[in-house]
Amino acid sequence: KQEVTQIPAALSVPEGENLVLNCSFTDSAIYNLQWFRQDPGKGLTSLLLIQSSQREQTSGRLNASLDKSSGRSTLYIAASQPGDSATYLCAVRPRGSQGNLIFGKGTKLSVKP
Amino acid sequence: GAGVSQTPSNKVTEKGKYVELRCDPISGHTALYWYRQSLGQGPEFLIYFQGTGAADDSGLPNDRFFAVRPEGSVSTLKIQRTERGDSAVYLCASSGWVDRGNRNTEAFFGQGTRLTVV
């Protein structure tokens, strides 16, 4: 059974720092991995999608990497800003399933001005 | 529409009542998903539609939960005899067709419906 773990559960950093959020999954048989952002009381906003054949994706200050064989992904945020404060969730789409996403519990990020 | 739309945004209901939650996916998306999210947890899968049919309903917690998508677009999640433990945020997402050859499988989520059973 696919399980997704995110460490740390919470992270507080001063503005301007570069930071890394971690995601691990137990079964490497996936179609893709997706990183989301969730603001309090809101839905999920898709940040980056990495296909199983890809190693990384970049969007602005965000860079996500994928090491499928070791079951790991990282989300790197450069020059963090207070507006980056949110919960970050990663999810994998397992092969062999009908297509649903399996989520971690998220990392709650707080960027202090 | 431009994004996934869910209505209502908030719903308060009494224990034992019946509720319906609606999801309007992105136009043209054949795949539609329902998730449930409790406080401090990641979204938990409930059911997945490809077109009109439920391709995977293994996440529905019990037979009080049911979902339909009669025309392959709008979906309704129905909960009978609601219990306080059903209180959560119900999220809907849509994506393009999911198969081995299709890389266009990015999922887009709505804002959710916050259900409170009192």
- Kindly determine whether residue A46 and residue B55, on different chains, have CB atoms separated by under 8 Å: no
What confidence score (pLDDT) does residue B100 get? 52
Answer whether B50's CB lies under 8 Å from B97's CB: yes
Taking the Cβ of residue A101 and every Cβ of chain B, the question of whether any pair is shorter than 8 Å is answered with yes
Burial class (CB in 10 A: 0-12, 13-18, 19+), A74: middle
**What is the per-residue pLDDT for B1?**
53
Residues of A in contact with B55 (CB under 8 A): 98-99
DSSP state of B102: -
B71 touches chain A (CB under 8 A): no
Q: Which residues of B56-94 are buried (b: 16+ CB within 10 A; e: fewer)?
A: bbebbeeeebebebeeebebebebeebeeebbbbbbbbb
Flag whether residue A100 sits within 8 Å of chain B, measured between CB atoms: yes
- What is the 8-class DSSP label of residue B71? T
Instruction: Tell me how close the Cα of B18 comes to any Cα of chain A, in angstroms.
Output: 24
Contact with chain A for residue B42, Cβ under 8 A = yes
Q: How far apart are the first and last CA of chain A?
A: 41
Q: In terms of Cα–Cα distance, which of B89, B13, B4, B105 is closest to A101?
A: B105
Using 50, 70 and 90 to split pLDDT, how confident is the model at B101? low
Q: Does B41 touch chain A (CB under 8 A)?
A: yes
B40 in reach of chain A (CB within 8 A): yes
| A95 phi-psi bin (left φ>0, alpha ψ -120 to 50, beta other) | beta
CA distance A15 to chain B (A): 24
- A44 CA to chain B: closest CA distance, Å? 6
Average pLDDT in chain B: 91
What value does the mean pLDDT take over residues A25-44?
92
Q: What is the pLDDT of residues B58-84, one digit of tens each?
A: 999 999 999 999 999 999 999 999 999
Evaluate whether A24 touches A112 at the Cβ level (below 8 Å).
no
pLDDT per residue as tens digits for the range A37-93: 999 888 899 999 998 899 999 999 999 999 999 999 999 999 999 999 999 999 998
The dihedral sign for the CA sequence B55, B94, B58, B102: positive
pLDDT at B85 over 80: yes
- Residue in B with minimal Cα distance to A49: B106
Q: How far apart are CA B89 and CA B39, in angstroms?
A: 8
| Secondary-structure breakdown of chain A: helix, strand, coil percentages, each rounded to the nearest 5 | 5, 60, 35
State the Cα–Cα distance between residues B67 and B58, nearest whole angstrom.
12
